[in-house]
């Protein structure tokens, strides 16, 4: 029987809060940590960002889906978010690049959506109570049964979600190029859930880009003869991502240092490998409008962010590591660099372009460091 636009859906949170709405996308049941994203657009990129593995996304902007979906704006091979929550889903999409509806896109990857709920009230509740486990269902509306399933579902702390999003084998990211070009910088990207635009940015800077699974060991990476290494973004808690942490420790302690650039989860991994600690934020940073101050220049960048964990500033060895960036909303850590090693990282996403492209300069900084150490 064909699903109608009036099929009910329900969202139940771990604390018993419930929101009833209308289903779109796939039918069924799915658990995940409920979070909110403050971006006004970019829902396709958000849904396909592997960093959202394990999470149900609430969009704070009220109208979603009005420009459809196209084949070029995916940030990975599929949707990794567990579910999608909006105030109003647009039944009609209109854009010269649009090829399919958001509804059909969700169905393609069996992702449940719910619309018609008060996303403002939900967002305010998350800000007050914190991100928590939740469930979306179109199958049953028995609150007690759903709440039991939520409480039996895993949270994010202590889970290695990276193994569920990383690539399965080593590959070269060509982006239209037929062959690797000699004498270009060779960048190895450790894939913890890398977004395609990170790879595109490296190609735009004339790099040969080799992507490796997150559990590729140090010796194998060295055999690839990298001029530089990028630690990618990814989902969840960084502390269980032991394979990458151990690899980065060996790079830090090697006789010939290889330049490292860490982004988001990659930033957290570099900090942990350097002796730092991380902690879970109350409701995370998810959106395209976070102000970050570059302490080296005093410049304020408007950044895209997507992370639920953060590096503890006080856990870092200040004799070895310099604090480079701070979040102006809550004064959390946004960037570090080694004082005597060619390694740095940022918590935000310099490859994203929510309107401004304020943080693009970081890719050029990385390439400049790589060239310096290559020569």
DSSP 91: S
- Given the residues 125, 290, 325, 349, the one annotated as active site: 349
Whole-angstrom distance, CA of residue 100 vs CA of residue 349: 27
Neighbours of 73 (CB within 10 A): 15
Site of tokens 């999003």: 165
310 is an active site residue: no
351 is an active site residue: yes
**Environment class of residue 7 by beta-carbon count within 10 Å: exposed (0-12), middle (13-18) or buried (19+)?**
exposed
- Given the residues 264, 285, 286, 310, the one annotated as active site: 264
322 is an active site residue: no
Site of tokens 């393609």: 108
Whole-angstrom distance, CA of residue 183 vs CA of residue 50: 32
**DSSP class per residue in 151-206:** HHS--STT---GGGTS-SS-EEE-TT-SSPPTTSEEEEEEESS--HHHHHHHHHTT
SS3 content of the chain, % helix, strand, coil (to 5): 25, 35, 40
In 3D space, the residue among 349, 281, 350 whose CA is nearest the CA of residue 312 turns out to be: 281
Active centre residues (catalytic): 264, 349, 351
């Amino acid at each position: 029987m064909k699903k109608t636009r009036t099929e009910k859906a329900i969202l139940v949170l771990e604390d018993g809060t419930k929101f009833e709405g209308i289903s779109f996308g796939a039918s069924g049941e799915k658990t995940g940590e409920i979070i909110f994203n403050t971006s006004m657009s970019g829902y396709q990129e958000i849904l396909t960002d592997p960093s959202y593995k394990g999470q149900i996304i609430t969009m704070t902007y009220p109208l979603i889906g009005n420009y459809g979906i196209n084949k070029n704006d995916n940030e990975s091979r599929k949707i990794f978010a567990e579910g999608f929550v909006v105030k109003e889903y647009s039944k009609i999409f209109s854009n010269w690049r649009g090829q399919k509806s958001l509804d059909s896109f969700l169905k393609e990857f069996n992702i449940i959506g719910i619309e018609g709920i008060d996303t403002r009230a939900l967002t305010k509740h998350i800000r007050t109570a914190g991100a928590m486990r939740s469930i979306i269902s179109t199958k049953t509306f028995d609150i007690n049964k759903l709440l039991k399933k939520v409480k039996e579902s895993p949270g994010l702390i202590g889970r290695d979600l990276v193994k569920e999003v990383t690539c399965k084998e080593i590959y070269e990211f060509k982006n239209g190029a037929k062959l690797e070009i000699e004498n270009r910088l060779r960048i190895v990207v450790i894939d913890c859930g890398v977004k395609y635009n990170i790879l595109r940015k490296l190609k735009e800077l004339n790099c040969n880009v080799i992507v490796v699974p997150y559990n590729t060991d140090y010796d194998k990476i060295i055999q690839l003869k990298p001029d530089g290494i990028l630690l990618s973004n990814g989902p969840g808690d960084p502390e269980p991502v032991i394979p990458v942490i151990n690899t980065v420790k060996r790079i830090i302690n090697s006789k010939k240092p290889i330049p490292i650039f860490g982004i988001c989860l990659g930033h957290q991994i570099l900090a942990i490998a350097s002796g730092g600690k991380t902690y879970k934020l109350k409701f995370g940073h998810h959106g395209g409008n976070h102000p970050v101050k570059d302490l080296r220049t005093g410049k304020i960048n408007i950044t895209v962010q997507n992370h639920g964990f953060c590096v503890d500033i006080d856990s870092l060895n200040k004799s070895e590591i310099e604090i480079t960036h701070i979040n102006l909303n809550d004064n959390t850590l946004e960037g570090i660099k080694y004082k005597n090693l060619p390694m740095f990282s940022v918590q935000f996403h310099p490859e994203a372009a929510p309107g401004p492209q304020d943080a693009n300069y970081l890719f050029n900084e990385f390439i400049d460091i790589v060239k310096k150490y290559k020569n």
